Amino acid sequence: MLFNTIDFVIFFIFVLSLFVVIKNRKYQHTLLLFASLFFFYYSSNYLITLLIFSTILDFYLGKEIYKSKTKSKKKFLLFLSLAGNLGMLGFFKYTDFAIDQINYVLFSMNFESSIPHLDLILPIGISFYTFQTLSYTIDIYRGNLIPSKSLREFAIFVAFFPSLVAGPIIRARDFLPQLREKINGTYNGKLKQIIIQNTNLKFGITLMAIGFFKKIFFADNIAPLVNNIFANPIGFDSSTIFLGSIASGIQIYCDFSGYSDIAIGAAMIIGIKISKNFNNPFFATSPANFWDRWHISLSSWVRDYLYYPLMFKRRKSIIVVSGTLLFTMLVLGLWHGSGWNFLLFGLIHGLVISGHRLLAHIMPEKIKNPFKTKIGILFSISITQYFVFLAWIPFRIDDSEKLFYAMGKFVFLDFQITQLLHQINLNLFSSLLIILFILLSIISFKKTDLLFRISNLKLRYWIIFMIFIMIPIFFFYDGNPEDFIYFRF
């Protein structure tokens, strides 16, 4: 069930209405669980069995890990959790990719036979809910979390419908304690005062509206420009490739952060707080800072459960640190998809992050100081975004010939603008949206509390804002909504 459909709006209003009526916490939890399972079944049908398998596996393994007295048994049970979840994820997501590589080797060795593809369907949300359940068992193993006593409570954590399909990736230690408080984010005792007095409701609706606005107004209308350029970039000049890369990055951001906004807003209305997933990533001052601001729930997950364990102890040589960072980013790239282009996406980020770390380590302080000035910060942002937008090219193109042509034009400039002007003329509205997005991003960056200001407006002004932002949403909604990009991951 896509967020940007009438089906979801009806579903969410129905669930919300029941929450207003139901006051008992036990029944609220039951409703939330069935609503989440229905939401997933509506989207995936029989593949809901994988979600149920992951839920049951890690609920009982988590209990056994906590009760185990010996380190060896804890490790064995954690291994079962890792094998079960990563095995399921790897089978459905990477099997055909692995078969392709084996067939390529067989072909190069003149073998006539090849292994047929399994043509597996990638289950929606599997990359997200497997990481959520893994964080649960790992945190229990580390002694950072007490296991949930209730299967229903744990199942809500795994299947929570706002974040189930495309994140943000939530942690059990943040989510489960909230279930132990009454879910009353939409009810204050007087039904007629729900909109007027409930801060959660206004904030949640505002955030959801902004999410829809990002997706339907920006992402879906910038997509034609990206498709025109990157469907077949061969022959385009450097400036056109630059435009395509910038447009692609903005499209992905508006699409994915729009989904995250809707998810966080919907959870807020229900009474569950989820941490934000994006924080002005296009204003990052370093490659590492970009990942502190982009897809925060994934980058922090990879940091806590992959990078830190690989480091063992903090005091390591800069070479070991750089190598570990590179490997971590390769894994992060592969998480996004089963293709060499995604490995290249991770490799670019890994090389840039580890290279920046190495330079910062060897660079004298007097050379670093100029980068702390306003001009230095602006320069740092520009250089960072250059590599960020370079990495969006392999994220978008999987054909190797087209990919390396586009990357070559991005790196080795030809200083031609004829085709750029032609593309802008063909996609004038998309081009204007890019300019509008940049202006709004600058305002949002400077006014960090803008969302809170909007949600705390007096009711009449808040309604005017909502009408203003909903008009383009209704105008551009055509009844045949585009999928969210991160659904494929």
Which percentage of the chain shows pLDDT scores above 90?
A: 55
Reported for 271-274, long-range contacts at CB under 8 A and 24+ positions apart, including other chains, are 271/178, 271/182, 271/183, 271/184, 271/185, 271/186, 271/200, 272/160, 272/162, 272/175, 272/178, 272/179, 272/183, 272/185, 273/178, 274/162, 274/163, 274/168, 274/170, 274/175
352, two tokens: 């840039």
391-399 mean pLDDT = 93
Instruction: Give which of 59, 279, 90 is closest to 168, Cα–Cα.
Output: 279
pLDDT at 189: 39
The string over 115-126, giving b where at least 16 C-beta atoms fall within 10 Å of a residue's C-beta and e elsewhere, is eeeeeeebbbbb
Would you say the pTM of this structure is higher than 0.75? yes
pLDDT at 223: 93
Q: pLDDT category, 193, cuts 50, 70, 90?
A: very low
Does the pLDDT value for residue 186 go beyond 70?
no
Tell me the angle at which helices 71-108 and 48-67 cross, rounded to the nearest 10 degrees: 140
Rounded to an integer, what distance in angstroms lies between the CA atom of residue 225 and that of residue 230?
9
73-77 mean pLDDT = 94
pLDDT at 159: 92
Which pLDDT tens digit goes with each residue over 317-363? Answer: 778 888 889 999 999 999 988 889 999 999 999 999 998 888 877 76
Stronger pLDDT, 71 or 110, i.e. the higher one: 71
DSSP string, 431-460: HHHHHHHHHHHHHHHH-TTHHHHHHTS-HH
Strands annotated E in 85-234: none
Q: Return the domain boundaries, the chain.
A: 24-183, 199-488
Q: pLDDT category, 454, cuts 50, 70, 90?
A: confident
Which pLDDT tens digit goes with each residue over 200-258? Answer: 788 899 999 999 999 999 999 999 999 999 999 999 999 999 999 999 999 999 999 99
Does the pLDDT value for residue 126 go beyond 70?
yes
Average pLDDT, the chain: 87
The string over 431-466, giving b where at least 16 C-beta atoms fall within 10 Å of a residue's C-beta and e elsewhere, is bebbeebeeebeeeeeeeeebeebbeeeeeebeeeb
150-158 mean pLDDT = 93
Which pLDDT tens digit goes with each residue over 455-476? Answer: 888 888 989 999 999 999 888 8
Residue 77 exposed, middle or buried by CB count within 10 Å (0-12, 13-18, 19+): buried
Which pLDDT tens digit goes with each residue over 439-451? Answer: 999 998 888 788 8
Residue type, 51: L
Which pLDDT tens digit goes with each residue over 22-41? Answer: 877 788 889 999 999 998 88
Reported for 173-181, long-range contacts at CB under 8 A and 24+ positions apart, including other chains, are 173/139, 173/144, 173/145, 174/275, 175/272, 175/274, 176/148, 178/271, 178/272, 178/273, 179/29, 179/153, 179/272
Instruction: Give which of 2, 472, 487, 479 is closest to 221, Cα–Cα.
Output: 472
Kindly report the number of other CB atoms within 10 A of residue 387's CB atom.
17
Please enumerate in sequence order all residues whose Cβ is within 8 A of that of 304, keeping only pairs 6 or more positions apart, or say none: 135
